[in-house]
Amino acid sequence: MAYTRWNESGHYIYGGVDYVDFNGKAIPDDDVDVFIYKLFEKDKNGGEDFWERYHHGSRVINNFHKGIILKRHCKHTYTAKQAASEISALAREIWLEHYTPIIGAEQVEYMLAKFQSAERILEDINKNAFVYFTAEHIKHKKAVGYAACKPEGDYLFLSKMYTHKDYRGNRIARSFLDEILALCRWEIGAKKIRLTVNKSNEGSIAAYKKMGFEVIESIKVDIGSGFFMDDYLMEILV
């Protein structure tokens, strides 16, 4: 199992060659040490920056053992077009199940067409500076969750973060947030992450609060055709 390095978009998040034997049932701590050491050419005396990357690498390994691999898709990556199509299909499944009871079937269809089509997702990646992440189930060979974010001034806006109902409870949202936090700290330098969530979406609000987000504002946005997004703006410091 070969991974590519974390900053080589469009592939697996970590790796390059087989630093760790992923075929075993467990990854010994020493193997994790070697894995991270070879990635960043640092040892355990590398300080706080090393340890953050060390723990991040450990999470990648843990995800693998849970049967999940996270992939990143951004501008100029060969995965963007295929990912956009796969994400759009997944979005339809998730939105029809989760959001129809909250905002109604008519608004769900409108928002799917406006914000979650393959064409819009590809445009967001190629022209609007969005970075997308997908969670792929290794055994089932399909995407089971996705997230998207983009820089906005001094913060990163977390535009989307969804998991298919059959795979919730596997901490996929937490894994997405870990990747986005790493993006802020290692590449963008943003000091906070913001997101919007429908005020009636109580389960997601509770989940975001559990991850450390706080409500900072109540907003209502006209998205056209007589539809509004009646949301809370939430924020977490990086």
Q: Which of 216, 155, 146, 206 is nearest to 184 (CA)?
A: 155
Is there a single domain that holds both residue 179 and residue 226? yes
- What does the pLDDT look like over 140-197, one tens digit per residue? 889 999 999 999 989 999 999 999 999 998 889 998 998 898 888 778 889 999 999 9
Q: What pTM, to 2 d.p., does this model score?
A: 0.78
CATH no. for residue 217?
3.40.630.30
What percentage of the chain reaches a pLDDT higher than 90?
A: 54
State residue 29's pLDDT score.
Answer: 45
Region 194-216 average pLDDT: 96
Is there a single domain that holds both residue 9 and residue 112? no
State residue 178's pLDDT score.
Answer: 86
Q: Residue 52, Cα to own-chain centre: how many angstroms?
A: 18
Among the candidates 42, 65, 88, a domain finishes at 65
Order of all β-strands in the sheet with 227-237: 68-73, 131-137, 142-152, 155-163, 192-198, 227-237, 214-224
Average pLDDT, the chain: 80
Is there a single domain that holds both residue 161 and residue 95? yes
Q: Which of 72, 187, 211, 210 is nearest to 135 (CA)?
A: 72
State residue 71's pLDDT score.
Answer: 85
Give 40's DSSP letter. H
- What does the pLDDT look like over 7-51, one tens digit per residue? 333 333 333 333 334 444 444 444 444 455 545 544 444 455 555
Range of the domain at 233: 69-237
Query: How many CA atoms lie within 13 Å of 3's alpha carbon, on the beta-carbon side?
Result: 23
Among the candidates 9, 31, 65, a domain finishes at 65
In sequence order, the 6+-apart residues with CB closer than 8 A to the CB of 164 are 90, 93, 94, 144, 145
Q: How many domains does one find in the chain? A: 2
Among the candidates 35, 50, 65, a domain finishes at 65
Is there a single domain that holds both residue 91 and residue 164? yes
Asked if 4 and 11 touch (Cβ cutoff 8 Å), the reply is yes
Is there a single domain that holds both residue 205 and residue 117? yes
- What does the pLDDT look like over 91-127, one tens digit per residue? 999 999 999 999 999 999 999 999 999 999 999 999 9
Distance CA 192, CA 218 (A): 18
Residues 41, 49, 132, 207: is their CA dihedral positive or negative?
Answer: positive
State residue 187's pLDDT score.
Answer: 80
Is there a single domain that holds both residue 48 and residue 75? no
